[in-house]
């Protein structure tokens, strides 16, 4: 397909996209309806559209096609055949450091403002390097897997057999280019020797520390990313998983089955409601609250969120998190841990909620960490281990 045609298609996708579903799903639907697009055209269109959203609010009031070219200029650091044809002057400077690219763009667009690649930097948690975080929005994060204990060699051999490039960050964490396909590697093998799981998400597991026979509750379990880690650390636990969405717990069942895990309990629970009728006489030795949040630490994967997010939502999530925490802590035994997790980079959802749990709900902060995924092409997350007094 010709480059100007590719640009036009990307612009029309952007104009049609109304933020009602994740961009990834919208693109998948679009490609299903436009079967004439080959895999190379689909890849180019996705790349153009994703790069466009990575501009956040830095370049406003410019025609979409122009923004698409600027986005390619900023997101790429090596020769682009498309820019070569449509905007050669960008291609001639494609290898420049970002600050020089920014300076050049300001000469073309005086209102261009790179700090608006991420317009909420005043809301970031303590310890986030604002500039690095903002610039990281231009990068596509990597894909990570968590390798089950004792399976490192088998997984490595398989990856070599299929000639899949990877980086080994530790014996249990491997990184890949984001578009890598891995599903076919151990198809039908139970338990599958690895799980897809972000690097920072894997790090939250070090805060769990479960002991045999303990009763744990993963109260926002979704498809079970944290529960799978918990189980691997201590297969002897008794586990309750819950979520407000019944359908996502079906996904959890599938993943647990693939991991060979049985004997857990699941419940559909809205944690903002009265939970008394659903948890009679229950007491837990550990609760994981992987809270609903803005997801701002993962917007490198969903850059469309940056232009669509409203500041007021941060406060809304923070209140929801406090409300949920207040509602669940009565089911935790004294002396036992609440693991509070978000995939947000915002202080109001992280430190502020942690401090609320400590001061208002009677917990001691044992340890906490902002997981700076932006330094590793991974998600930025927050984790705290709080002990009930």
Q: Which residues bind ligand SAM (CB under 6 A)?
A: 220-223, 225-226, 243-245, 248, 269-272, 290, 292
Residue nearest ligand SAM (C-beta atom) = 225
Q: Which residues are annotated as a binding site?
A: 243, 270, 290
Task: For ligand SAM, give the closer residue by CB, 182 or 324.
Answer: 324
Q: How far is the CB of 87 from ligand SAM (least distance, A)?
A: 39
How far apart CA 205 and CA 161 sit, in angstroms, is 30
Q: How far is the CB of 227 from ligand SAM (least distance, A)?
A: 7
Q: How far is the CB of 350 from ligand SAM (least distance, A)?
A: 13
Given 67, 173, 293, 343, which residue is catalytic?
343
67 neighbors 74 (Cβ within 8 angstroms): no
Query: Which DSSP state fits 173?
Result: E
Residue 163's Cβ-side half-sphere holds a number of Cα atoms within 13 Å equal to 0
7 neighbors 48 (Cβ within 8 angstroms): yes
User: In which order are the strands placed within the sheet that holds 194-196?
Assistant: 167-168, 173-176, 143-147, 194-196
Cis, peptide link before residue 249, omega less than 30° from 0: no
Q: Which residues are annotated as a binding site for S-adenosyl-L-methionine?
A: 243, 270, 290
Parallel, antiparallel or unpaired: strands 381-388 and 337-342? antiparallel
Q: How far is the CB of 110 from ligand SAM (least distance, A)?
A: 40
Query: Token digits for 374?
Result: 């932006």
Task: For ligand SAM, give the closer residue by CB, 288 or 306.
Answer: 288
Query: Which DSSP state fits 332?
Result: B
Task: For ligand SAM, give the closer residue by CB, 70 or 143.
Answer: 143
Query: Token digits for 185?
Result: 């590697």
| 343 part of the active site | yes
Task: For ligand SAM, give the closer residue by CB, 238 or 245.
Answer: 245
Catalytic residues: 343
């Amino acid at each position: 397909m010709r480059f100007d045609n590719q640009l036009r298609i990307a612009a029309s996708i952007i104009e049609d996209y109304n933020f009602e579903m994740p961009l990834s799903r919208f693109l998948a639907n679009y490609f299903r309806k436009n079967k004439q697009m080959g895999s190379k055209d689909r890849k180019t269109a996705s790349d153009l559209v994703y790069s466009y959203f990575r501009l956040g609010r830095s370049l406003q009031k410019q025609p979409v096609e122009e923004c698409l070219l600027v986005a390619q200029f900023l997101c790429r650091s090596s020769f682009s055949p498309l820019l070569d044809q449509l905007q050669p002057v960008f291609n001639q400077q494609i290898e420049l450091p970002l600050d020089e690219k920014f300076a050049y763009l300001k000469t073309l667009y005086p209102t261009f403002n790179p700090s608006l690649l991420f317009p909420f930097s005043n809301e970031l948690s303590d310890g986030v390097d604002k500039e690095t975080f903002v610039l990281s929005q231009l990068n596509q994060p990597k894909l990570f897997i968590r390798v089950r204990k004792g399976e490192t060699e088998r997984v490595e051999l398989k990856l070599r057999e299929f000639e899949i490039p990877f980086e080994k960050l530790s014996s249990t964490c491997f990184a890949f280019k984001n578009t890598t396909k891995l599903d076919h590697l151990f198809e039908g093998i139970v338990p599958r020797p690895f799980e897809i799981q972000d690097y920072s998400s894997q790090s939250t597991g070090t805060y769990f520390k479960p002991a045999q026979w303990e009763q744990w509750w993963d109260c926002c379990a979704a498809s079970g990313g944290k529960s799978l880690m918990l189980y691997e650390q201590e297969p002897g636990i008794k586990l309750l998983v819950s979520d407000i969405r019944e359908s996502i717990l079906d996904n959890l069942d599938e993943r647990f089955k693939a991991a060979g895990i049985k004997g857990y309990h699941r419940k559909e629970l809205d944690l903002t409601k009265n939970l008394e009728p659903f948890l009679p006489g229950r007491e837990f030795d550990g609760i994981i609250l992987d809270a609903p949040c803005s997801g701002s630490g993962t917007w490198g994967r969903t850059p469309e969120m940056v232009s669509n997010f409203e500041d007021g939502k941060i406060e809304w999530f923070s209140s929801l998190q406090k409300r949920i925490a207040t509602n669940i802590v009565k089911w935790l035994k004294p002396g036992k841990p609440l693991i509070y997790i978000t995939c947000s980079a915002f202080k109001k959802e992280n430190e502020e909620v942690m401090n609320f749990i400590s001061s208002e709900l009677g917990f001691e902060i044992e340890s906490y960490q902002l997981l700076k995924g932006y330094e590793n092409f991974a998600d930025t997350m927050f984790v705290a281990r709080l002990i009930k007094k």
